[in-house]
Amino acid sequence: MEFQQQVMQAVGMIRTQYLGYPNVGVILGSGLGAFIDYIDVEHEIPYSEIPHFPVTTVEGHSGKLIFGKIGNKSIVIMAGRFHAYEGYSPKEVVFPIRVLKMLGVQQLFISNAAGGVHPDFNVGDLMVIRDHISFAIINPLIGPNNEAFGPRFPDMSEPYSKTLIAKGHEAALKLGYTLKEGIYFGVTGPTFETRAEYKLIRTLGADAVGMSTVQEVIAGVHCGMNIFAMSVITDIGIREEENRITHEDVLAAATEAEPKLTAIFKEIIESL
C-alpha cells in the first residue's frame, strides 16, 4: 500500500471519532506530558487504534492523540513520539506529521529533552531551537516524493518560524522566564554520546544534542507547517566530572522544567 493511502486511512479512522479541524499540533517529548492538564480535552485516541500508526515504546511517552482546546484554539497533542532507536524507519517516525497535516494542523509545536553542549548551559535551562544540524540522521524524505505532501526539494533556510520564535521570547518575558536560543544537533541514539562526540558536536556549531525532532521538522517543513521547537536541557554533555547520564535523570530534569515550557507554549498558542 502506498504511503499516502496509509496516511489517508489513518485520517479516515480518526474522522470517525473526531470531526474537528485542529490548526495547532503539539508533540510532547520525554517527561513533558503534563501539558495535557492545561487543555480542555474533547477526545482521545490511543495510537494502537489508528491504522498504520506506530506505537511508542519509551518510558515518559504515553502514546495517544488528544484533541481539545486552549482558549478558542483547536489543538491536537501527540502524547508520545517515535524515534529511530526504537527500530522505526524515518518514514514511520514522520508518519504522524503527515496525519496531523491532513487533519488541518498548520502550526506545529515540538518539545524535547536534550543534552547541553554550550558551555553556558545548565540543567533545567529552556532552549528555543533556532536551527538544527541533521547530518547524523537519515533524511525522511529520501525515496520517491509525493507532491501531495510537498516539493521534491524543500527549502530549509527557515525550518523554525522566526515569527513563532519572536512570540516565544515575548511569552517568556511576560512570564518572567529566561530563554536560551541555539542550534540542535540530531542523532539517532539510543546511546548517550561519548565525551569525544560531545566535543565534536560543539565544534560543529551545536548548542544541544538529542535523539528526536529533526526528522519531524523536516517532514513538517516539507508539508508547509510553521514550526516552533523548544528543548529542556536535561543533562550536560561536556563536563569534567566522572558522572554518568541515565534516562531516569533526563526524565526527572524534564519534569521539573515542564511547568515553564508548558506556560510558554500555552501563551504562544493563545496569541496566534
Per-residue pLDDT tens over the stretch 193-206: 998 999 999 999 99
Give backbone dihedrals phi and psi of 44, rounded to 5 degrees, phi first. -130, 140
Q: What is the CA radius of gyration of the chain?
A: 18
pLDDT at 246 over 70: yes
- Grid cell, residue 192, equals 548517550
75: which strand partners? 24, 68
Q: Is the peptide bond before 190 cis (omega within 30 degrees of 0)?
A: yes
Amino acid at 181: E
Residue 163 CA to residue 84 CA, distance in Å, equals: 30
pLDDT at 62 over 80: no
The label of the residue with cell 529566561 reads 178
The label of the residue with cell 497533542 reads 77
Per-residue pLDDT tens digits for 85-125: 999 999 999 999 999 999 999 999 999 989 999 999 988 99
Q: Tell me, what's the pLDDT at 242?
A: 65
CATH of domain 3-271: 3.40.50.1580
- Grid cell, residue 207, equals 548548542
Reduced to 3 states (helix: H, G, I; strand: E, B; else coil), residue 218 is: helix
- Grid cell, residue 48, equals 494502537
pLDDT at 238 over 90: no
Share of the chain above pLDDT 70, in %: 94
Residue 245 CA to residue 160 CA, distance in Å, equals: 29
Q: Tell me, what's the pLDDT at 59?
A: 59
- Grid cell, residue 147, equals 507532491
Give backbone dihedrals phi and psi of 256, rounded to 5 degrees, phi first. -70, -35
The label of the residue with cell 491532513 reads 102
Which of 232, 245, 203 lies closest to 117, judged by CA? 203
Which DSSP helix (H) or strand (E) runs through 6?
A: helix 3-15
Please report which confidence band the pLDDT of residue 4 belongs to, taking 50, 70 and 90 as the band edges: confident
Residue 234 CA to residue 259 CA, distance in Å, equals: 14
pLDDT at 46 over 70: yes
For the residues 229-256, what does the mean pLDDT come to?
78
Q: Tell me, what's the pLDDT at 248?
A: 82
For 241, other C-beta atoms within 10 Å of its C-beta total 5
Which of 129, 94, 99, 92 lies closest to 112, judged by CA? 129
pLDDT at 228 over 80: yes
Q: Tell me, what's the pLDDT at 55?
A: 83
Helices (H) and strands (E) in the chain, counts: 6, 9
Q: Tell me, what's the pLDDT at 1?
A: 60
Q: Tell me, what's the pLDDT at 135?
A: 95
Q: Tell me, what's the pLDDT at 237?
A: 82
Amino acid at 43: H
What pTM was computed for the model? 0.94
Average pLDDT, the chain: 92
- State the alpha helices, DSSP H only, in the chain: 3-15, 90-103, 162-175, 195-203, 214-222, 247-271
- Grid cell, residue 28, equals 510532547
pLDDT at 67 over 90: yes
pLDDT at 25 over 80: yes
Q: Where are the domains of the chain?
A: 3-271
- Grid cell, residue 258, equals 515542564
